[in-house]
Every structure is written in structure tokens, then in C-alpha cells.
A and B are shown apart, each in its own frame.
Chain A
């Protein structure tokens, strides 16, 4: 073809058009074809590891952070740590996401708009925060009203907590409120039986027959990894001796699925079944007669010190808890009760546990007493495989507080929530706190500090709690993610992540030996402008000046921890954390009365703790009765008087009996509400991490929502199908949940998980699911226990159309 001018012009125009179109089209093409994305190179670098302690739950697992070029890329368990031995639960594995969470509070935030909205906050500085808050507190001291400072905290163990406690004492306020953590009823039961104030530790790995009365033993149990390790040994760790687990609960929970037997009882009757078993043990003389005769009081009728006649357990059980009666109440055949009782007694090492499901569903005192008594009846107190009591960690006492008339006077005042009779801290509940704050009695509250807890979320009456906070001029939250309580605050002072700060953590609940875990900061500088809570209190104390400042002679957290470690050294017992061989060696030495710790100076101890994870004392002195039984009678006591006080109030009546007059909701089709706490979101923590949202329950693959389990028969009667949205309504509140029709619950029951339904917590927690706490009546266990979850009745109605859970805007 010959090139002429027209063709040349045409060609040029075409070429220009081609180029003009070619460039953007090919760029769009490369955007669409994802395999052409530029490669992502996570940075490489020299590798090392740093030891820390996970704080996503009270379990206290030792963590080893893998660092590449100074960046943390993975968390594993610390293999030398006696609590978890190199293992981690799903929360610990997901903890990396909490360090890098996109919604972490980047620095001190100051509220300038209406309460309750994240947009109301403006970034500020630590200088300004400490100045403003310090001034406020100083003013309170000058006005001699230190009691108008109240603190709500969720933890009692770490250095930060102990510093907070000291701060309150030095400041002069009696209002150091420890919010309930789910351990109270268990501790109370132990106290009533043995007279010691601590959490019982169950030696699961040496037991052979475990009767679990409703407890989530293999889920959010006190120290989950420690318990699961023990469970592994319990099952297959001792050749020829496989432990048997019998689980009693109205729901086929994860623990029930792992058990050898699932005894499905009517809701709220686990304790009654336990008493039925106890009755058989006594009636058939299967209990440990040596222990019963020599070391208990109250098995038989007796006269107390004042000369009053007191009924013994034998009498009460024979009269009130006959086999027929128990069987009728629980729905369990008589033969099954007999068989279990006989198997339990015949085992070489029987152990009863329960009923705690998690920090929020901690079980009634009634049930905890029954568990304690079953163990006492078979003599399994302070023996291998039984109920153990950990010794205290020999941390040195901190210097005496300087004398200060303002503080002394303040501390003598009664606590604003009326809790008396015991030295603070004493546990309290957000619902009650809301009531007291609204009443503004006995004195107005000026400043509220909230740390390591989210009471606005963990409250059955969240709107009331929010209103109560409006009366307080200055509310300070230490949350690192803007949680429900932080949204209501005036200042958010974000605390450092556990991987960003020093900490000395002590014995987790349920672990029978004293330990002190050293957490070293795993990043050179925190990712955001955050500070450890302990540091903030040290700084605040200096701002306030006077005796408050001189109560804190440590310049920083690391110095404080170091002085604690010096005390450990001077205690002259225990050893660095180590392998099983080391453990056996130390035990052997201590049994013979020697101390051979492997460190010879405080420096060596400190360095050793940095390298191994901490200090512990593996030697357990079994059957040291004077240590573990400190009741007035010096014997294990069966407090049948307490039991009878509890009976009338706390036990749920089965549905559809003739004399059913105790329902609070409508009588038709009302179901008993059963609450449980999946481990990934237990304690109200975990919903902020997407990997945990995805694993809420193995049978419920989608996760990310609150569901309501109902039996197929119940569904049929109510006209509900699987995956319908239903409104669950009680006399006190209602939520919307997705119905799951499953035979994992017994009929006439609806089971709903706890832990979702937050307003704060970042993009993944916010607006996901619903909070079934709203369904509970704020009434309490008469001895101050948690809300009695077994006694709430609810109604289910189908929800269709627009009311079905909407997808929040901007959600992926």
C-alpha cells in the first residue's frame, strides 16, 4: 500500500487516539487484574524474641514475641512458663492484632462535644492531661474531700493495679471499687468452707474422675491454657490411666462435647443434682470417713459456740434433697444419679468443679458451695487431684504511707456504694454503682477513674450507667481502644499495650503455685503516644505533690518492678522458670529443706527473669492443714445455714409446673434463659479482634453475631425456623438475635452467648451482635453475688423485615 498524505494523516490521528486510550485502559486493566498488583514485601531483618505476659484475660500466660527487624510478627507461648508451657489460646494468638489495631487511641483525648460519641474527642497532650487532672485532684485535697475521687478497676494483680490501689490510699479515698471479675462466688465458697480468701485451684491433671456441674472447664476457665494443658494430661498424659469427665448442663457446650457423659439437666439445677449426689455419698457411706470425721464440721448435727443447734448436711440432704425430689427437679433419672455418685466415690481421685462459665456468667453461690462440699465429702481437699490453695507471692511490702490527716480522715469515711465490713477493695457491680451514683448519696462524686474494665458495657442497665456518669464532672478512662465506658469519659488516657510496657504479673486464679512473671517491652517505643497506667499514676502523684507525691518514691515503672524483684530475692525460696527437669529438681531440694535457685544476686535474678520469663515456687506442701483451713473451728465447714438462705431465692423453677407462680414475664411460652461465654469473647474482651469474631462457636461458622439456640421441639411450638431473626424479651429488656435451631439445648430453654453488643471497641466490635446482659434483672444473689442468670425467663418472637439486624454503614 502506498503511503500518501491522507493515509499518513489518518495513521497519525489513529495513533494519537490509540495512545490516548491505551494508557488509561491498560492502567485500569492492571488495577482490575489483581495478580498484577505490586508485590508486598514485609520487611526482613535480624530475628530475636522477647518475653512478656498476655493480658487479654486473667489467665496470665507467658508469651514469647517473635521479632523480625524489631517488628513483632508472631506470638507464641513461652515454653518455660509454668502456666502455659509454650502454648497459647486463640485470644493470645490474636493478641498481635490488638497491638496493631487500627482504632487504638493514638494519644490523650479530651472531650469537647456531647458525651457518648467518638467524634466529641480532640487530640491533646500528656502535659495538658496531667495538668488538668492533677489540678482537679489537688483541689479535692485542698478542700479536704478526697473521698470524692472514685476508681473503678477490673484487675487486682499487676503492678499497675497495686499502684492504683496505693494511689487511692495515699490520696485518702476509700472508694477503690474492684468490679466483679467472675471469681467472687468461687472465692466465697472456698472461704465459707475453708476460711481462706482466695480462688480455689483445681489439680485437674492429677484427678481421675471429674464431675463438672455446669462449669465451662474447657472454655473461659480461670486460666484457660493452664487448665487445657492439665486436661490433656488428665486424658492421655498418664499411660493406663485415662481420666473421665462427666458434664452436667442444659446445653451441649464445648466442654460437654469433650466430656464422656453429658447429663442434660433443667436450667439452674446443676447444684441440685450435686446435692443429690452428695446425698447418695452420705446415705450409702461412700464419703471419706476419715476426712469427714476428723477434719469437717457440719456433716452431722451439732451445737455451735453459742450453744445453738445447727442442722448437719446429712439431715438437710435427707429431708430436702431426696433422690426422688432431685430427680424430679433436674429431670435426671434416679439410676443415673446413683451411678454417678457411686462412680465418683469409687474413683481414686474424684474432683468436682463448676459452675463458672466465664467472667460474666460466674455461677451462683449455691452451686459453688455444692461443688466445694462434694470435694470435701470425698476428702479431696489439699490432696493431689483436689482443691488446692496457692501460697502468696513473697513480694516485698511497699514503704509505709506517710502520715497525712487529710488522707486518714478521707479513708475513714464510708464508701459511697455502701459496701462495708471488709477492707477495700471489695467487689461491686455496675448496676448497683449506677443506682448509687444517681442517688448522689452520701456525698457527690467529683472524679471517676476507670481502668482495666468496661463497666458501661458489662452492665445490665447501660443507659442508667451512662446517665449516672453524667453527674460526675470529670471522668477519666484508661482504655486503649475507645470502649463503651471511654466514650462516656471526659479524658481518655490510652494505656500502653502489654507488649509495650514493663509489668510484673503474679499468680493467675486457679494456678496452685506462686509465681511472678516479668514482662519486658517488646517494642522499642510504643506504637502510639501511650503510657503504662502505672507511669500515669506516678506522674499524677508528683503533680499533686505533698504526701501523695512522697508516697511514690519510684521514678518509673521499671525501677518499681526492680525493687519488687529484690524482695523476691530476699525471700530465699523458689527458682527461675525452667523446664520440667528444673521443676523436679527444685521440688526435691525444697522438700529436703534446701534452696538452690540458680541465681546468686538480684542482678542475676533479674537477668534470669528476663531470659526465662519469671520466678516461681513449684513446691506444693500438701495437707498443710493450718495453712489451708482457717475457719474458726479449724475444720472444713458445711454451712448448711447459708445454703438454706440461698435456696429460696436462686433456684429456677421448671416451666409448666402447676404451682409456677414465679415467672416475671408472660406465662405462655416463656423459656428459661441460659447464658454462656465463648472463650474468644469472654469477659467482654475479644470482639474487637476480627479473627476472634470468626471463631465464636465451631458449630456456627459465620460468627460475627449473637445467636439464640433453641431445641427443635421448642422451635416448632413457637413457629420459628433456623436462622430467623428473633426478639428475645424479658421483663427488663430485649435484644434481637439469630435463632439457631439445634438439639444442643434441652427443650424450653434459649441459650444466648455473652460478649457482643458493644457500642465502642473499634470497627469490628462496634454494632456487632447484642448484649444479653440487658435481659437480666438487676437483682442480686443475696450475699452480693452476680446476677442470677438461671432465673430469667424470656419470650421469643419472630422479627422480620427492617428490624432484622442491619449491616452498619461502611462495614465490609
Chain B
């Protein structure tokens, strides 16, 4: 097709047809794009305190269970409440960061510490931390990654999906009936 043909066509059929066509394309593209953004976007998670795992786990050699107190006894793992942080941070500052000052103020006010869970199975899944961590002796980092070395909370994590679980179950020969996990 030559340019002159285009121009001819345009001149023949009216300029509005070409506008309509591109308008429709634009409409369709952006309609779907915006819809997808609305439906699929998950809000980025902002934690009350920008917790530095590295300082606690690597530098101070704390164990995961010092703050996540339930994974050896219960199905859920738990997030530290204000009482847990108060053990060390209420009376005197442990460091010099602004975040710690923020924490101290929060602890003094007596308000609850409301962490937003990053790793959360959908409610129709039964996952037992006790079974995996205490009985099967799987390291926390196998599922949670190297979060112990992070210096700030990630705003997003790659959600674990069924394939991740099944992959490990199959390779380890663990039971993988629907009813093992779904409820």
C-alpha cells in the first residue's frame, strides 16, 4: 500500500472514520487495562514500624521463635505483640534509629501493634506451622525466603500458591489429597 493510497482512502471515506478507528482501539485498550489494574491490584502493605530483620536476626542472633511464638505449638505462627517488643525496647533505646523512637512512643501509648500479615493463606486452606516447622523440621526460609536478612519490611511478597506446596509435597512424598489442606 502506498502512502498516496492511504491519503486517497482517507479523502474518500471521510476523516472521521480514521479517528473512530483509533478511538475504538484506544478505548478498548485502556478499558481493559484500567479494569485489570483495578481488579488485580493488591494494595502495597505498609507496616506500623519499618522493622529491620537483619539487626535482630543476624546482628543480635535472635531466633525466629522469639517473636513468632506459636509456630512450634500451633497451626499459626503469630506476629509479635506490643508486649514482646516491650521486653527490650520499652525501658531504654537499643540503638539510634528513628524507627525505634517511633516504636518507643507507640509502646508507651499502650496502643496495640497492628502488623499487616504478608504471608497469608486464603481462609479455605488449612496450613499447620507446627506440622511443617516442628514435626517436619523445615527451615522457615524455605517458604519465607531470606526475610531474616532484610533491612526493611517488603511492601509485597510473591504469594505462595498451590503449586509451591504441591511441588514440595510430591517430592517429599507427603500426603496431598484435597482434604489434607482444604477446608
Tell me the smallest distance from the CB of A70 to a CB of chain B, in Å. 13
Which of A36-44, A93-101, A636-644, A795-803 is near enough to bind chain B? A36-44
Cβ contacts B2-22/A at 8 Å (1 or 0 each): 010010000000010011111
**Interface hits, A1-32 → B, CB 8 Å:** 2, 4, 6-19, 21-23, 25-27, 29-30
Q: Is the CB of B26 within 8 A of A46?
A: no
Q: Of the candidates B21, B22, B30, which one forms a contact with A8 in the assembled complex, judged by CB atoms under 8 Å apart?
A: B22
Chain A CB within 8 A of B34 CB: yes
Enumerate chain B residues within 8 angstroms of A10, measured Cβ to Cβ: 18-23, 26
Tell me the smallest distance from the CB of A14 to a CB of chain B, in Å. 3
Q: Is the CB of A23 within 8 A of B26?
A: no
**Interface hits, B16-65 → A, CB 8 Å:** 18-36, 38-39
What does DSSP make chain B's interface, helix, strand, loop or mixed? helix
Q: Of the candidates A7, A17, A36, which one forms a contact with B18 in the assembled complex, judged by CB atoms under 8 Å apart?
A: A7
The number of chain B residues touching the other chain, given as a range, is 20 to 34
CA distance A656 to B20 in the complex (A): 88
Q: Is the CB of B22 within 8 A of A7?
A: yes
Chain A CB within 8 A of B120 CB: yes
Q: How many A-B residue pairs have CB under 8 A?
A: 90
Tell me the smallest distance from the CB of A53 to a CB of chain B, in Å. 29
Enumerate chain A residues within 8 angstroms of B35, measured Cβ to Cβ: 22-23, 25-26, 29
Enumerate chain B residues within 8 angstroms of A8, measured Cβ to Cβ: 22
Chain A CB within 8 A of B74 CB: yes
Chain A CB within 8 A of B123 CB: yes
Enumerate chain A residues within 8 angstroms of B28, measured Cβ to Cβ: 14, 18
Q: Is the CB of B31 within 8 A of A19?
A: yes
Closest to A27 in B: B38
Enumerate chain A residues within 8 angstroms of B33, measured Cβ to Cβ: 18-19, 22
Q: Is the CB of B23 within 8 A of A11?
A: yes
Most buried by B among A10, A27, A44: A10
Given contacts A2-B6, A7-B19, A29-B39, whether A21 and B25 have CB atoms under 8 Å apart is no
Tell me the smallest distance from the CB of B20 to a CB of chain A, in Å. 7
Q: Is the CB of A18 within 8 A of B31?
A: yes
The number of chain A residues touching the other chain, given as a range, is 20 to 34
Q: Is the CB of A11 within 8 A of B123?
A: no
Q: Is the CB of A14 within 8 A of B24?
A: yes
Q: Is the CB of A18 within 8 A of B27?
A: yes
CA distance A301 to B149 in the complex (A): 99
Tell me the smallest distance from the CB of B29 to a CB of chain A, in Å. 7
Cβ contacts B57-77/A at 8 Å (1 or 0 each): 000000000000010001110
Most buried by A among B25, B26, B76, B123: B26
Chain A CB within 8 A of B122 CB: yes
Q: Is the CB of A30 within 8 A of B39?
A: yes
Enumerate chain B residues within 8 angstroms of A27, measured Cβ to Cβ: 38
Enumerate chain A residues within 8 angstroms of B18, measured Cβ to Cβ: 4, 6-7, 10
Closest to B30 in A: A18
Tell me the smallest distance from the CB of B86 to a CB of chain A, in Å. 19
Tell me the smallest distance from the CB of A37 to a CB of chain B, in Å. 11
CA distance A522 to B15 in the complex (A): 77
Q: Is the CB of A15 within 8 A of B39?
A: no
CA distance A22 to B33 in the complex (A): 8
Closest to B24 in A: A14
Q: Of the candidates B3, B15, B26, which one forms a contact with A12 in the assembled complex, judged by CB atoms under 8 Å apart?
A: B26
Q: Is the CB of A14 within 8 A of B23?
A: yes
Q: Is the CB of B120 within 8 A of A15?
A: no
Q: Of the candidates A6, A23, A30, which one forms a contact with B34 in the assembled complex, judged by CB atoms under 8 Å apart?
A: A23
Q: Is the CB of A22 within 8 A of B34?
A: yes
- B-side interface residues toward A, CB under 8 Å? 3, 6, 15, 18-36, 38-39, 70, 74-76, 120, 122-123
Taking A11-B25, A18-B27 as given, write out 8 further A-B residue pairs in contact, using a Cβ cutoff of 8 Å, ordered by the A residue number.
A6-B19, A6-B22, A14-B24, A15-B30, A16-B30, A18-B29, A19-B31, A46-B74
A-B CB contact pairs (8 Å), 18 listed = A9-B19, A10-B22, A10-B26, A11-B25, A15-B30, A16-B30, A17-B23, A17-B27, A18-B30, A18-B31, A18-B34, A19-B31, A19-B33, A22-B31, A27-B38, A29-B39, A30-B39, A42-B123
7 closest Cβ contacts across the A-B interface? A14-B26, A14-B23, A10-B19, A22-B34, A18-B30, A26-B35, A18-B31
- A-side interface residues toward B, CB under 8 Å? 2, 4, 6-19, 21-23, 25-27, 29-30, 36, 39-42, 44, 46
